[in-house]
Amino acid sequence: MFDIIGTESQHNSGVYGKREIALVRGAGALVFDRDGREYIDCVGGQGSANVGHVHPAIVRAVSAQAGTLIACTEMFYNDRRAELVSRLAALTGMRRMFLSNSGAEAVETALKFARVATGRSGIVAALRSFHGRTFGALTATGNKKYHAGFEPLVPGFSHVPYNNLEKLAGAVTEQTAAVILEPVQGEGGVYPGTAEYLRGAQELCRQRGALLILDEIQTGYGRTGKLFAYQHHDLQPDILCLAKSMAGGLPMGATLLGERVGEIPIGSHGSTFGGNPVACAAALATLDVMEEQRLPERAAVLGGRLQAQLQAIESPLVREVRGLGLIAGVELKQKVAPCLAALAERGILALPAGMTVIRLLPPLVITEEQLERVVAALGEVLH
């Protein structure tokens, strides 16, 4: 039989620390290897599979659009794209947006637009944050581990502790174009931002003429119990970055612009694949699924239950349980790699967030029974 793992390993760039599992099929919250072994997928495509794997509505929309028009750059208008942007505008109150193909691009776009629209160069980001791997997004990322070997980075960036308004106030000046924050820090270890902090950051930006960029690439599309996490705190970000689950698992990113963002000069940015009709069709179907299956509400209910069940696990290994909706972090007093391997043996795939946090990002369609199996397996592994 064709050696999937051996062949991929031979041709890898080497950047990914891969697990010895080859996935060939998915359905809802489940993924399967070639031998038909089933896993409950709490990696969830690193947060890109909120509607579940191979959702029939996504399959239908993608198939139909693929048979109609695949390539159509933004030099021209397109029916699917027009529908999508008007739908996103209605959901967020943000009129203008730039479509791209990934989270890093959505952040890169936000940083460029903040500079060009304000005429300022400073970007203030949080320590422990994650914003992507391209140079601007990487520089915004507040973790030296990701910077190593890639210096010099982009000038004009500074980092302050998360959930600390005083330190943020000390960093935002007349030179600050934007403050960029995640409403819940994901990769950094699952740290929810407090309402006081996020509202204070917004207020500070308004006072000092800076823009507030919210990176909802991981927290968006129902994950935290609202369609977007900023809705928990009645925030009005100036720039909103979306990607991951935006197009039902297909590559897509978006950078939405509020009223406080000035004019973006024509020709100052662009993307060949951005706004392509197949991704737009998938993104429209994703919004339909979110609404019809009430996935944000589902994430709120199941997430509340999950957090309580995780809190109830009695183990000397657990330091703290954190989360919001269906993003959960279990911080251990030791490295998580052996626990993740033990979970995989029990048919549960989960993510790390740093060295000591187990992170769960299940599809929001996960069943109650599947979620109970996840908690039971975690309980066993942590004993």
Active site positions, annotated: 130, 215, 244
Task: Decide whether 275 or 370 has the Cβ nearer to ligand PLP.
Answer: 275
CB of 222 to ligand PLP, least distance (A): 15
Q: Which residues bind ligand PLP (CB under 6 A)?
A: 102-104, 107, 130-132, 182, 186-187, 215, 217-218, 243-244
Interatomic CA distance for residues 159 and 173, integer angstroms = 13
Interatomic CA distance for residues 184 and 182, integer angstroms = 5
Interatomic CA distance for residues 17 and 84, integer angstroms = 36
CB of 311 to ligand PLP, least distance (A): 24
Interatomic CA distance for residues 4 and 34, integer angstroms = 10
C-beta of residue 111 within 8 angstroms of C-beta of residue 140: yes
Angle at 369 between CA 364 and CA 375, to 5 degrees: 85
Which residue's Cβ lies closest to ligand PLP?
103
Task: Decide whether 107 or 350 has the Cβ nearer to ligand PLP.
Answer: 107
User: What number of other Cβ atoms are within 10 A of residue 383's Cβ?
Assistant: 10
Interatomic CA distance for residues 255 and 110, integer angstroms = 6
Task: Decide whether 102 or 370 has the Cβ nearer to ligand PLP.
Answer: 102
CB of 338 to ligand PLP, least distance (A): 25
C-beta of residue 101 within 8 angstroms of C-beta of residue 251: yes
Task: Decide whether 118 or 255 has the Cβ nearer to ligand PLP.
Answer: 255
CB of 140 to ligand PLP, least distance (A): 9
Q: Token pair of 182, please?
A: 């995640």
